[in-house]
Structure 1
Amino acid sequence: MRNVNVTVRSGGTVEEFHGVPLPLELGRQRQDDLDWMRLQNLGSHHRIAIAPLRSIAVPREAVRIEEDADGLRLINIHGRSSFFLRPDSHEVKPGQQITGRAASSISLAEDIIVDLESTEAGETSGADQALRTLEGSQQFVPETQEGGRLADLLDGQSEATRIQGAVSLVRQALNVVQKSAGSDEYFQAAVRSAATMIELDRAFVLLYHDGQWRVRAMYSYETDMTVDTSEDSAADTMPRGSGLLRRRVLNTKKTVIYEPSTYMHSTGSSMMALDRAVAAPMLDESGDVMGVLYGDRRFDSTRSNKPIGELEATLLEVIAGAVATGLARQREESLRASMGQFFSPSVTERLQGDDNLLAGRDAEVTVLFCDIRGFSTIAERVGAERTIEWINDVLTELSQCVLETDGVLVDYIGDELMAMWGAPAEQPDHALRACRAARKMLGKRETLKDRWHEITPDRFGFGIGINTGVARVGNTGSKVKFKYGPLGNVVNVASRIQGMTKRFGVSAIVSGATERAAAAAASDADSEIGFRRLADVRPFGVQEIVTVFEIGDGRDADWQSVREAYESALTHFHHSDLTGAARELASLVHSHPQDAPSVQLLGRVVDALTHRDENIDPVVRFDTK
């Protein structure tokens, strides 16, 4: 019998699972999974959700690992997506399997790497034998089981008893930490643990936002009942008499203990309902109070008749801190998930370190529009449901090309994608990044065509337009819906250039500004990106004349020869040398009849010769978008 050691590297997070029984399934979190990065025994096999539910780049069922005679068998169990073996980037296609691997490293997304190592069941190393497992369970204390109390530690008659009391308290605190942040269980664990550990009759999580308090969860020892309140819980559900403590916590940001001098205290005030009470602050990342963990103890309590001491209050602080940390983590994960819709992980990380990057400002950026050819044909032929599946897959692949080059996904407009580089984080090579993304997109055509061969039309492809210039960048949406992107003429020209791809019969066109900026930033490693000057154009609705270039394969000798011959003919044409242009183009069209720009330019030359134009207007003018 073989097991497998699994190491998952996701961004800056590393999770390890040792001695996992086979077979094992890896994939994105499903609705029925307990959580992600958790090993689950599903009976017939084990499963690890290596990516959260929102991470659409990873399929829900991606890889299955089985025992093989010589080690491990890796099987791609997804119907459409591939994964890659590292370090040689060997592609494992849908349904394909790799056998005889004692160890493997696979890439399921740009920032998710899984290392696998085959082990014999029960096999241990010398280091393993030196390890000692802490006795006792780390599982959550069941709702019906009372956890450790501070009194068990203080009143312990022997050292062993005191140690066991300390361990029990720590595990009770871990109950809070281990629950999913922001969930019902999270707050319920906090109030139950607080009441149990320091013998409170009641405990509450009270949240504070925009000057308003609300009860998020409460526990009563008398009824042994935990109540999780709704989002719209009214202020009158606050524990009576707690206002004084809450105000003191807001002012001091410190834990406050209330201990009346006598049993017959404050008869004329609301504090008489409190008896003894304590409130510990929950602070956000800025040190502001976002809530309190509050508890009280009656004078006639059957649990404890002692005042609430500093040690008990400190223990409450620990739990309050755990709740605050969990809420902060939840907000951060929610923010990262929201940003992940627009930004790559590396850009998101920079944004979290500098909030000012999202502020509106002028910046030099490169804007890309990518239109999907053949969309209308598919929509008419296969219906809405199948079309949505298809367009979602295509846009996902195109979006990955943007994120892999640290671009910003600005918007989806029907069957068109809009992206930007150069903001919010500064990228001196933003034009080159956009061109790399365009090359990646064009490289996806055959893969997508094969994957959807039963419905994809022959004319399926992409039309890509790119332009570089200064734009106003920031939230171009509204206060209701956030959309980070650019505004300005650079956007209009990029959109017009995308439309020109149909006129020139090529897949990707960039402006002269983009070509110059990309060439300036390029190195030898970028020699696969080539540019062919197509024409000087005047886009519809734009006053300036723009020189446009086709993006091609700079390492393709045939494409390079076509580029040189075409640009030579274009120069003759611009200098009104129609005979020289016709000679160049006649030879080029004969050898490459499929090259649409050459055929079109030859048509312009022949038209000029026919009309005997002495002064050639080399500018191609567009009367429509």
Structure 2
Amino acid sequence: MKFVDVIVKLGDETNHVYKASLPLEIGRMDHGEELLRTQNVGNGNFRLAVAPIDMIGVSRRSMRVEDNGDGGLRLVNIHSTNSFQVSDENLVVGPGQSLSVSGNVTVKLPQQLMLTFTLKSMNAPVEYDRSMRTLEAVESSMTNGTQDARLGQLKNETSDKNPAAVAVSLVRQALTVVQKAAGSNEFFEAAVRAVANMIELDRAFVILFESDHWTVRSMFSFESDSSINFTDSKTIEPLPSGSTRLLDNVLQTKKTVIYEPDSYLQTAGSSMISLDRAVAAPMFNKAGEVIGVVYGDRRVVDDRSNEPIGELEATLLEVMASAVASGLARQHEESLRASLTQFFSPAVTDRLEKNENLLLGRDAEVTVLFCDIRGFSAVSKRVGPARTIEWINDVMTELSQCVIETDGVLVDYIGDELMAMWGAPAQQPDHALRACRTASLMLKQIEPLRQKWSDITSDQFGFGIGINTGVAQVGNTGSKVKFKYGPLGNTVNVASRVQGMTKAFGVRVLLTSSTLDEVTKCQGAASEIVLQTRHLADAKPLGINEVVTLYELNPDADPNWQQLRLSYEKALDCYHKSDLAGAAKELASLVYKNANDTPSVLLLGRVVDALTHKKTVVDPVFVFDHK
């Protein structure tokens, strides 16, 4: 396994992070993260926040450090626009580029942040020191011939086995269960085999309590020396004969229960008549509820040990039950994380793992974004299904990454359209600002994607993005069969309609006044977003009962666009006041200088129409009769 030591230098302050695992993502601290502490983000990847959250010059996802497989490191730029400098080589690594280096390497990030990486390996030779010995060495010297020790050997005073060696072997067998992969067949097989062997049981079972009934998950038979795992829901293994009363007792008392009849007469005619001994230890979830048992028994017909099942045996069974319960909990967490990472960023996923109640249905103020791919039909008609699917997958991947970078929720893909949300399940006070930043990131992907797919991308390729903020019902909007976390309600419908209106107005991004109002409440970059917006129109979308005030968002705003914005908004104000002459005067000059500005052309057309029909009072609302 490969690691790197990381020296982080900012001004006069230097910090050292020892043995950070590879591959390692580097970036600015985000909410819920700890500075200069490596965290596992799943799928064998790790992340290290090297800059405080308010150091906005450093991107949240700046670079990735990997083992290049040749004794060195590979530095990968994972940001869409920013570059970083490798000072030792005096090289600049641009967006999407990578560089392989050997030995120590120093990287320069914005705001004078310097990072030095040194590759380490866990397989590096260790200098021999005879004053130290490994546990494996101790074990081999003690446990020769006792690898499959039984508890009876520890209690038998006449046994020729070393008691310490037997104890070590018993603990090792228990550790085997803990170390197996959670939830796999191997994990359950190790559990039932170890239980039967250590306590000298004829049979051992892992029995789960689900939906108010018991289900056998795994069993081991000493007679056949084999184990069986029952994973097919269509195949239901009956409970061990005579175990029902024992299991019900465990469920009621939440304690380990041992069955030892005083005489066989008292069991005559019952299902327990064939049992000599039996024991069941409960497994618990985090809430202290019984989720299953580890059960074992000895049969009357068997001539094996009929020693009583005492406190020591029962305690050892409880240890095994706890190990199985921990494995099940770990399996649940891994399964949950795997499903959550399909929709949520690592930061949001971490919060959901700590509080699953965040996924429950509720009302929340959110910002919803729809992004439609322009030119999709032209591409699909020209290149056929196989190439179209390859292209759309790449485009959607880049758009999705923009959402993840701002900790948004990937709600759905609808044909050639992406839907995302901020503000739930975890609270994000700046959810509107995050959505606007995402739109800016998406627009920056247009040209790289156009160049990457230059052989098939049409001139019409681009994105139409609609953003709206409001209260929505959030939760699992899918089903029990397919999970889909997202919003429902009017806020979503308005966002969808606003996206559709980008075509009519000939702009790339439209946001509503409710979104802009929320942005202005944020500090820092909010003022920059406001300067990039133009009050475009008041509109009544199809199927929406309210009038929506629309703003264009233009992240590429330059001084010329700012002048256009001022002139347009002056003309719009005249139009709203029914000052048609003033609006016509302002728009005539504006359209002459900016003939390709569709909103100006549309507004001029409405002014001319009103003048032609000699209207003295105009309705300033654009009414849409189509999506």
Larger mean CA deviation between 323-332 and 185-194 belongs to 323-332
Q: 1:559 is matched by which residue type in structure 2?
A: W
CA positional deviation for 1:421: 2.5
CA positional deviation for 1:247: 1.5
Q: Using a 3 Å threshold, how does the CA distance of structure 1 residues 602 and 459 change in structure 2: closer, same or farther?
A: same
Q: Deviations over 1:205-224 (max 9, x none)?
A: 11222232222211122221
For 1:565, which of 567, 575, 586 is the aligned residue? 567
Q: Is 1:536–1:620's contact at 8 Å kept on the other side of the alignment?
A: yes
Q: 2:561 is matched by which residue type in structure 1?
A: W
CA positional deviation for 1:93: 5.8
Match of 1:243 in 2: 244
CA positional deviation for 1:460: 1.2
CA positional deviation for 1:135: 1.6
Larger mean CA deviation between 304-313 and 475-484 belongs to 475-484
Match of 2:539 in 1: 537
Match of 2:52 in 1: none
Q: Is 2:370–2:417's contact at 8 Å kept on the other side of the alignment?
A: yes
SS in 1 for 2:587: helix
Unaligned runs of 5+ in 2: 7-16, 26-41, 47-60, 110-114, 141-145
SS in 1 for 2:342: coil
Whole-Å separation in 1 of the counterparts to 2:81 and 2:147: 49
Whole-Å separation in 1 of the counterparts to 2:581 and 2:129: 83
CA positional deviation for 1:188: 0.5
CA positional deviation for 1:147: 2.7
Match of 2:494 in 1: 493
Matched ranges for 1:281-296 at <5 A: 281-296=282-297
Match of 1:220 in 2: 221
Match of 1:97 in 2: 99
1:65 and 2:68 aligned: yes
Match of 2:38 in 1: none
Whole-Å separation in 2 of the counterparts to 1:104 and 1:569: 55
Match of 2:617 in 1: 615
CA positional deviation for 1:84: 8.6
Matched ranges for 1:60-209 at <5 A: 65-67=68-70, 72-74=72-74, 96-100=98-102, 102-103=104-105, 117-119=118-120, 133-135=134-136, 147-155=148-156, 161-209=162-210
Matched ranges for 1:311-460 at <5 A: 311-460=312-461
What TM-score, normalized by structure 1, do the two folds share?
A: 0.79
CA RMSD of superposed structures (Å)? 4.3
1:598 and 2:600 aligned: yes
Match of 2:524 in 1: 523
Matched ranges for 1:24-43 at <5 A: none
Match of 1:5 in 2: 3
CA positional deviation for 1:228: 1.8
SS in 1 for 2:136: coil
Q: 2:171 is matched by which residue type in structure 1?
A: V
Q: 1:543 is matched by which residue type in structure 2?
A: N
SS in 1 for 2:269: coil
Q: Is 1:64–1:77's contact at 8 Å kept on the other side of the alignment?
A: no
Q: Is 1:528–1:555's contact at 8 Å kept on the other side of the alignment?
A: no
Q: Using a 3 Å threshold, how does the CA distance of structure 1 residues 544 and 244 change in structure 2: closer, same or farther?
A: closer
CA positional deviation for 1:194: 0.8
Q: Using a 3 Å threshold, how does the CA distance of structure 1 residues 450 and 151 change in structure 2: closer, same or farther?
A: farther
CA positional deviation for 1:496: 1.5
Q: Is 1:26–1:64's contact at 8 Å kept on the other side of the alignment?
A: no
CA positional deviation for 1:405: 2.6
Q: Using a 3 Å threshold, how does the CA distance of structure 1 residues 234 and 585 change in structure 2: closer, same or farther?
A: closer
Whole-Å separation in 1 of the counterparts to 2:543 and 2:98: 52
In the alignment of these two chains, the number of paired residues is: 572
Larger mean CA deviation between 596-605 and 127-136 belongs to 127-136
Whole-Å separation in 2 of the counterparts to 1:554 and 1:129: 68
What TM-score, normalized by structure 2, do the two folds share?
A: 0.79
SS in 2 for 1:338: helix
Q: Is 2:65–2:73's contact at 8 Å kept on the other side of the alignment?
A: no
Match of 2:465 in 1: 464
Q: Deviations over 1:13-52 (max 9, x none)?
A: x99688xxxxx9999xxxxxxxxxxxxxxxxxxxx96259
CA positional deviation for 1:106: 13
SS in 1 for 2:251: helix
SS in 2 for 1:403: helix
Larger mean CA deviation between 535-544 and 298-307 belongs to 298-307
1:278 and 2:279 aligned: yes
Unaligned runs of 5+ in 1: 9-13, 19-23, 28-47, 53-57, 108-113, 140-144
Q: Using a 3 Å threshold, how does the CA distance of structure 1 residues 475 and 158 change in structure 2: closer, same or farther?
A: closer
Identity of aligned residues (%): 54
Q: Deviations over 1:392-427 (max 9, x none)?
A: 222232223223333333322211122222333333
Match of 2:44 in 1: 50
Q: Is 2:86–2:106's contact at 8 Å kept on the other side of the alignment?
A: no
1:304 and 2:298 aligned: no
Q: 1:5 is matched by which residue type in structure 2?
A: F
CA positional deviation for 1:314: 0.8
Q: Is 2:85–2:93's contact at 8 Å kept on the other side of the alignment?
A: no
Q: 1:414 is matched by which residue type in structure 2?
A: G
Q: Using a 3 Å threshold, how does the CA distance of structure 1 residues 544 and 15 change in structure 2: closer, same or farther?
A: same
Whole-Å separation in 2 of the counterparts to 1:300 and 1:356: 51
SS in 1 for 2:521: helix
CA positional deviation for 1:500: 0.9
Q: 1:74 is matched by which residue type in structure 2?
A: R
CA positional deviation for 1:308: 1.4
Whole-Å separation in 1 of the counterparts to 2:189 and 2:161: 30
Q: 1:544 is matched by which residue type in structure 2?
A: E
Whole-Å separation in 2 of the counterparts to 1:131 and 1:565: 81
Whole-Å separation in 1 of the counterparts to 2:363 and 2:309: 58
Whole-Å separation in 2 of the counterparts to 1:532 and 1:185: 62
